[in-house]
Structure 1
């Protein structure tokens, strides 16, 4: 199986449908997991993953030439998520005013964390997920989202402060298992 994180397949000239199929099978789970963390909904995450793979297939010749195809796919996924969120927000604002979400009553940490992430604006949420879940550097997140490194630092700092306020102090969850 090709190592799609290293860029080695980009140099062997295989840019046919078989190589895309191999890539899609190898990276579908990872893309879905990141999509789920971004949107917090299984159906939307599936749609986002499929849209990302469709875009990758559509531009496979260019995508397969990338140095790090997994990073390229993550970029496509994140930009697709942000574009869909902007589009959905425009539609909502045009038709009605959205009601605020009720606070979560669930004790499960995962549900609580996903609910808190959902309270962040889409771009800030993307920064937090990429920076802390995907363990990307400040530089790579800034490049991916086409903004400055200082913007990434300040947005992540503000977002983490907001999450801490919503979730309470970290020591409450440190003993949870």
Structure 2
């Protein structure tokens, strides 16, 4: 990789890292898993950077890679793993969650429903774009959105000053 490409990639990462981490956190529900997901996506992006740099939206490639990797990971982890020790849970102090109640409710959703909600509402993608990203039909996106919103409405308190309402 040429030095100008390295500098461009470093600048891209420095400028977009907070948004990518927030997106990853919304997808995974965990700051640690989000950091791993972003790192994996950026590593894959680095391999194709010279080609992606010419495109209008390299961030779209990174986000798509994050969604695809997240789907691959949860497909592989369909089983529960029992352990006799509860792991320590450390919260990332730098990760700003605008609404803790919303994050908790999102974390309770099944992974596919969470991905649909994040892509539809946090990333403002159309149903067709979400379907393409997740490799499913538009009808599946609609039904998963409906089910997820119903669960979120049940879990979230009605607040007049809420910043986001499903």
Q: TM-score, normalised by structure 1?
A: 0.72
**What is the alpha-carbon distance in structure 2 between the residues aligned to residue 35 and residue 150 of structure 1?**
25
Conserved in 2, the CA contact under 8 Å of 1:35 and 1:49?
yes
User: Alignment RMSD, CA only?
Assistant: 2.6
1:31: how far off? 0.6
1:159: how far off? 0.7
Which segments of 5 or more consecutive residues in structure 2 lack a partner in the other structure?
A: 84-96
1:79: how far off? 1.2
1:62: how far off? 4.1
| Number of aligned residues | 148
Aligned equivalent of 1:27:
16
Aligned equivalent of 2:37:
48
**What is the alpha-carbon distance in structure 1 between the residues aligned to residue 98 and residue 20 of structure 2?**
22
**What is the alpha-carbon distance in structure 1 between the residues aligned to residue 102 and residue 39 of structure 2?**
25
Distance 1:176 1:70, change over 3 A: closer
Aligned equivalent of 2:138:
149
Aligned equivalent of 1:174:
160
1:147: how far off? 1.6
Q: Deviations over 1:25-64 (max 9, x none)?
A: 2221111110111122222221211111111112324433
Higher share of residues assigned helix: 1
Conserved in 2, the CA contact under 8 Å of 1:127 and 1:152?
yes
Distance 1:176 1:159, change over 3 A: closer
Aligned counterpart for 1:134 among listed residues 99, 105, 123: 123
Aligned counterpart for 2:70 among listed residues 77, 81, 85: 81
**What is the alpha-carbon distance in structure 2 between the residues aligned to residue 147 and residue 86 of structure 1?**
14
1:15: how far off? 8.2
Conserved in 2, the CA contact under 8 Å of 1:131 and 1:138?
yes
